[in-house]
Chains A and B, each alone.
Chain A
Amino acid sequence: MDPMDSLARVLLPLPVVLPLFGAGLTLALARRPNAQRAISVTVLSVVVAAAVTLLVLTDSGRGTYSVDVGGWPPLLGIPLVADRLSTLMLVVSSVVTLAVLLYSLAQGIADGEEGAPVSIYHPTYLVLSAGVSNAFLSGDLFNLYVGFEVLLAASYILLTLGGTKARVRAGTTYVVVSLLSSLVFLTAIALVYMATGTVNMAELALRLPQVDPDVQLVLHLLLLVGFGIKAAVFPLSAWLPDSYPTAPAPVTAVFAGLLTKVGVYAVIRTETLLFPGVGGVNRLLLWVSLATMVVGILGAVAQSDVKRLLSFTLVSHIGYMVFGVALGSAAGLSGAVFYVAHHITVQTTLFLVTGLVERHSGSTNLDHLGSLAKRAPLLAVLFFVPALNLAGIPPFSGFLGKLALLQAGVDAGTWEAHVLVAGGVVVSLLTLYAIAKVWNRAFWQEPPAPGDLPEGAADRAGTGGATGRSGGTALEERTSVPRGMVAPTAALVAVGAAITVVAGPLFGVSDRAADDLLERTPYTSTVLHERVPEVPR
């Protein structure tokens, strides 16, 4: 076995196992916050390093690596699979997770951490990270379900952290909707097993084509509904803008960046590996993606709270990714993969900056904000760059991603694709409008006169305080934002901007990932150990 192969096999389980191990350790050390912090940061840093190495290995090496967990042969045991798509997702998600952890640490230290159940924050956060990694790496449909459940269970706890009224209200909806989506997914797994006798995704790719086409369609749509709820695709997206904004800023940031993208990742796998090239479903997905884009952004335009506005843009931009997947072409998939990588970074950054604004001014409601460009120029810069990036202004990566998707749409040539291209442009413009509204009102415009602000309004940050405590000190802290919170945010802004610089190589990776996805044999033959001669690229 060549050294790269064995290295990949060692690294592959790490992103799942290490955070789980760290979670146990931090839970045991619940009374020692410093040890908890050190463990969390170390674990997630190692995961970032492992993910980056894996990406380099898969992209320069054989393209796909798989590990049979526990040494069971592939059809009996559970394989973990790393290909270009999953490792790219892993790299972006682990970088974002680490940055948000550092941010939340600084916030926690600054807030004094009294009274809040922080001892469970670290274990839960690490479990969330393990669940996300497991979902990305799983080569088994049931293990994918377990990965989803792990990350969802952690997300329930993070979302209702502190158990305040607003969070319990938002958490209720979120938990029930997520449970329902999991049950739909579980039903799909039971039916898939009935139809094929396996839940190994590589084996499914070979066996599903032999199943009756009507049964295939039922399985396909069931899986898509389950993943669609998680990805917040339009008719199934109403839960997202309701629940996300109430959570603490770092939690919202990591949810917005990662959780929906895990759903999108699962949709990509379903559409390429399990049920490739089903014309009718692709057309359905095209229209669904248009509806997601338009409805999401129209919702964003109507909001006056920055967190809610951003949650709606999040829904809207999921539409772009689904658009790329629905095109079914290599160019479309490549654009979608690039867009996911771009969007995870940018959306998380924007939520983190909103957290900083909340910290600085005590509110995220546009009615309370103003003159931030003058009072906090650094915040203004930190907001401005990712905001333009999200709206797709050249030369940022949002522009490149949208360009790739629109080009793929034009290349597809059907009239539906052209409608989608037009829709994509309009939605991009409306995103700019929504973002410009935030910029104008929060950063440029004069703040409301002090008389307008009722007593203590500063801590009513739209839908919840920054940390779940009644931030009564917000007024005094108006100008002091901890440097530890600014630094990770600035780092993520830089990462978002750097995506533009490395766009060439990144598109190279996403192109090759898309080719692999469409070809399918690299995945199936690696997982099932049918070694094929390496094709030089």
Chain B
Amino acid sequence: MSPNITLVVVSGVLVAAGVSLLLERTLTRVLVGITLLSNGVNVLFLVASGPPGGAPIVGRTPIGEMSDPLPQAMVLTAIVITLGMVAFVLALSYRSWQLNGHDEVQDDVEDRRIVRRADRDQASASYDDESRDDGTTAGERTGPGRAGRSAASAGDPDAPPLADALRPDDSEAVGG
């Protein structure tokens, strides 16, 4: 079987575009990326089904000229599944916009807190009793520890590159 080179190229371009969009921080762009990516994979199934042929119905097409129906069945299933998932992600990004006013994918709050502690060479909250009131569930409440932490992140020139993207989340925490 010699694959159809046009389809292979189309699939490759779709996947490449999808991956590049997937790396964005906005959920709607990620969604478009996923759609392109999945279409790229679906085209790959067309490549798998080999040269085009007649409808695979006994009595209408001679057996030698039939196209392979199995990849088409699989691609249909995949399209339906992707449709459902895309609808769900769309709802999710709308909800995110409702809640936050944007649909940027945010970072893990707890994780960021631990990274900051590491940057400041500070022991974990669960290690030392004295530091107990310092880092209680960051992002969940505005406690005495918050002010110090925000100051630390604002004044820290070596803050990790993701710090900028995290800002929305930070303000959410302060506001909440």
A binds B: yes
Residues in A lying within 8 Å of B, measured CB to CB: 142, 146, 149, 153, 156-157, 160, 163, 165, 168-173, 175-176, 179-180, 182-183, 186-187, 189-191, 193-194, 199, 241-242, 302-305, 308, 365-368, 437, 441, 448, 452, 454, 457, 460, 462-463
**Complex partner residue of A305 from B30, B74, B81, B137, CB under 8 angstroms:** B137
Verify if B167 is at the interface (C-beta below 8 Å from A). Answer: no
* Bound-state Cα–Cα, A309 to B103, Å: 28
The answer to whether B132 touches A242 (Cβ under 8 A) is no
List residues of chain A with CB within 8 A of the CB of B136: 365, 367-368, 454, 457, 460
The answer to whether A183 touches B106 (Cβ under 8 A) is no
Tell me how many residue pairs across A and B have CB atoms closer than 8 Å: 133
List residues of chain B with CB within 8 A of the CB of A303: 110, 114, 126
The answer to whether B38 touches A183 (Cβ under 8 A) is yes
The answer to whether B74 touches A142 (Cβ under 8 A) is yes
Nearest CB of A to B61, in Å: 18
List residues of chain A with CB within 8 A of the CB of B88: 153, 156-157, 175
CB-CB under 8 A for A187 and B41, given A156-B88, A463-B137: yes
Closest residue of A by beta carbon distance from B99: A165
Verify if B140 is at the interface (C-beta below 8 Å from A). Answer: yes
* Bound-state Cα–Cα, A302 to B126, Å: 8
Q: Give the secondary structure class of B's interface.
A: helix
List residues of chain A with CB within 8 A of the CB of B105: 172-173, 176
CB-CB under 8 A for A193 and B135, given A175-B92, A183-B41: no
* Bound-state Cα–Cα, A462 to B96, Å: 20
Residues in B lying within 8 Å of A, measured CB to CB: 1, 3, 22, 27, 30, 34, 37-38, 41, 44-45, 47-48, 70-71, 74, 77-78, 81, 84-85, 88-89, 92-93, 95-96, 99-100, 105-106, 108-111, 114, 124-126, 132-133, 135-137, 140-141, 143, 169, 172, 176
* Bound-state Cα–Cα, A365 to B71, Å: 50
Nearest CB of B to A413, in Å: 39
* Bound-state Cα–Cα, A160 to B125, Å: 28
The answer to whether A175 touches B111 (Cβ under 8 A) is no
The answer to whether B143 touches A454 (Cβ under 8 A) is yes
List residues of chain B with CB within 8 A of the CB of A169: 96, 106, 169
CB-CB under 8 A for A194 and B137, given A183-B37, A183-B41, A242-B111: no
Nearest CB of B to A278, in Å: 23
**Complex partner residue of A365 from B100, B137, B176, CB under 8 angstroms:** B137
CB-CB under 8 A for A448 and B89, given A168-B96, A441-B126: no
The answer to whether B114 touches A302 (Cβ under 8 A) is yes
* Bound-state Cα–Cα, A483 to B35, Å: 47
Nearest CB of B to A534, in Å: 33
* Bound-state Cα–Cα, A163 to B136, Å: 23
* Bound-state Cα–Cα, A160 to B110, Å: 18
Nearest CB of B to A223, in Å: 14
Supply 12 further A-B pairs (C-beta < 8 A) apart from A194-B48, A304-B125, A457-B141: A149-B85, A157-B88, A163-B95, A176-B27, A179-B34, A180-B22, A186-B38, A190-B41, A304-B124, A366-B125, A441-B126, A460-B141
Nearest CB of B to A496, in Å: 25
* Bound-state Cα–Cα, A194 to B48, Å: 5
CB-CB under 8 A for A367 and B126, given A160-B92, A186-B41: yes
The answer to whether B41 touches A172 (Cβ under 8 A) is no
A-B contact pairs, 11 of them (CB 8 A): A149-B85, A171-B92, A173-B105, A175-B88, A187-B44, A190-B41, A194-B47, A303-B126, A367-B135, A452-B133, A463-B137
* Bound-state Cα–Cα, A462 to B141, Å: 10
